[in-house]
């Protein structure tokens, strides 16, 4: 196998691996109503999955499906009122009768003896008269204390400096004459 065809095969396998996926969710609202869906895809593009719901009255529908090169095929299981075990197109229906009788939801308001009295509102005028602000500043008296300064006398008496130099003795070294001998030969 040539290096070019090996690289092309690696790229093809990597692209197919990236093309596959898987996801799903399942939601329950806390009032016995639930819906769900999950799906998977393979590297050839075939998809398999299921989805459905069920409610608080016991009604449910569950659909499992396959979508591939042969088309879309579904398998439906339900007990919804009005469904019949007929197989339209490529769908297989599995129907069970519902075990509940829906209650009619009629709303009949009750007569009320409540008769509100009209509310009369007459706002009172707001009177506002500010008091005058009387402010008279007091004079600030400032009288500094006199500063008395009397310098102290400075007593300075220099000490005599005694200096007695050492006698200097000079003794020169004797100078000896040493003739140099040249060897010219």
3-class DSSP state for residue 90?
coil
Share of the chain above pLDDT 90, in %: 9
Write out pLDDT tens, residues 83-96. 777 777 777 776 77
Position 142 scores a pLDDT of: 81
Q: State the chain's mean pLDDT as an integer.
A: 78
User: pTM of the full predicted structure?
Assistant: 0.44
* 130 to 10, 23, 62, 123, 127: CA distances (angstroms): 91, 74, 79, 21, 10
Q: Which residue has the higher pLDDT, 34 or 89?
A: 34
């Amino acid at each position: 196998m040539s290096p070019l065809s090996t690289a092309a095969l690696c790229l093809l396998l990597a692209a197919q691996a990236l093309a596959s996926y898987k996801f799903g969710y399942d939601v329950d609202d806390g009032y016995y109503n639930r819906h769900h869906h999950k799906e998977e895809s393979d590297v050839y593009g075939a998809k398999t999955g299921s989805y459905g719901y069920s409610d608080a009255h016991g009604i449910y529908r569950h659909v499992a499906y396959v979508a591939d090169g042969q088309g879309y095929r579904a398998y439906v299981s339900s007990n919804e009122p009005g469904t019949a075990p007929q197989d339209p197109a490529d769908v297989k229906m599995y129907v069970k009768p519902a075990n509940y009788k829906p209650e009619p939801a009629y709303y009949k308001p009750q007569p009320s003896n409540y008769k509100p009295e009209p509310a009369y509102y007459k706002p009172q005028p707001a009177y506002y008269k500010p008091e005058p602000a009387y402010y008279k500043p007091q004079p600030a008296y400032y009288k500094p204390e006199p500063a008395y300064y009397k310098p102290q006398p400075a007593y300075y008496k220099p000490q005599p400096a005694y200096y007695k130099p050492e006698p200097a003795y000079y003794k020169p070294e004797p100078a000896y004459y040493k003739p140099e001998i040249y060897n010219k030969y």
